[in-house]
Chain A
């Protein structure tokens, strides 16, 4: 009877503290914060050398921007209006999928929906 109670207790203890236990085994993660690498293109004369939106905004919202642009271009034909949000435009600075996109995406466990290997449309412009 007592044995059963202890077993039940331990089972729940392990399940509830799993994140703590796993990270105790796995060790340090904070120092492994993702460092995406940029290869900035030279902006043409007279154009400011920066992203299409502010960086913090892009970090949080780039997926919504890309999705909106895709729908507007592919379904509604507004290619000119959304030209600055085209993935080709992104590629001018964010050239390397493995060095840029995947750094944060694999850290967060999210798959970018752009590329062909997950039902997306685009070829990764570099090797994975």
Chain B
């Protein structure tokens, strides 16, 4: 095993461990945080089926954003859809046999990386151009956008311009997944892409990217509006 392979195998496992433990610890924290008050944002659903419908609209279509800022919705929605498709397409490197449905999706060439990069650049620009968002933007907002743009750019490079041998990539990734390390492909662009992704995984649980799990725990969206029908008691408020 070469030094580079050893380095990246260790690096990858550290990154995955930090990501998994960090992400799950955050989820545990969100899930166990008491919500002492009923605060669903009205008009709110009055039963749990309605809540599911509301969450689907919120997670699937960013409804609140749609009704508050159409321009940013377009950029943000495009970015998220492109990200979803990109992740789905990458799954073929992580599973032994590519499921037929996955192969089918993968077979469409829709230049999703360029859409992803474009949407990110648009969102970056929006932060700078609109006075209010410029004032609201923190360093982490810019850093994350640049980070994702770099990942997209190196991904585009490996896919369309400086190709790498993807059979070797799959062998390497499957080696990681099966805990039997394989040699890492030596192409610099692939290594940069991979490094950036691992760094992102490490940063993920500490960043605002946790909204990916956190959105499901928003009390204003996931509560049923039945304050008058059912008495809302927080467990810790019950007298022993």
Contact = CB atoms under 8 A, between A and B. Distances in A.
A40 to B, nearest CB: 20
A108 B170 CA distance: 7
A104 B166 CA distance: 9
B131 to A, nearest CB: 38
A52 interface: no
Interface stretch (B23-31, B54-62, B76-84): B23-31
Contacts of A32: 96
Interface string B166-198: 110011001101101010000100000000000
Contact of A30 (B30, B31, B103, B178): B178
Contacts of A16: 19-20, 23-24
A61 interface: yes
Of the four ranges (under 10, 10 to 19, 20 to 34, 35 or more), the interface on chain B belongs to 35 or more
A108 B95 contact: no
Contacts of B19: 16
A22 interface: yes
Interface string B29-53: 0111000000000000000000000
B20 A30 contact: no
Nearest to A57: B163
A64 B19 CA distance: 36
Contacts of B213: 12
Nearest to A19: B94
Contacts of B92: 108-110
B24 A26 contact: no
Contact of B178 (A28, A104, A109): A28
A66 to B, nearest CB: 12
B163 A9 contact: no
Nearest to B236: A1
B235 interface: yes
A111 interface: yes
Contacts of A17: 20
Contacts of A34: 167
Contact of A60 (B94, B165, B217): B165
Interface in A1-34: 1-2, 4-5, 8-9, 12-13, 16-17, 19-20, 22-23, 26-30, 32-34
Contact of B32 (A5, A20, A106, A107): A5
Contacts of B182: 30
Interface of B: 19-20, 23-24, 27-28, 30-32, 91-92, 94-98, 102-103, 106-107, 163-167, 170-171, 174-175, 177-178, 180, 182, 187, 213, 216-217, 235
17 contacts: A1-B235, A8-B216, A9-B24, A9-B27, A9-B31, A16-B24, A22-B96, A23-B174, A23-B178, A29-B178, A32-B96, A33-B167, A33-B171, A109-B98, A110-B106, A110-B166, A118-B107
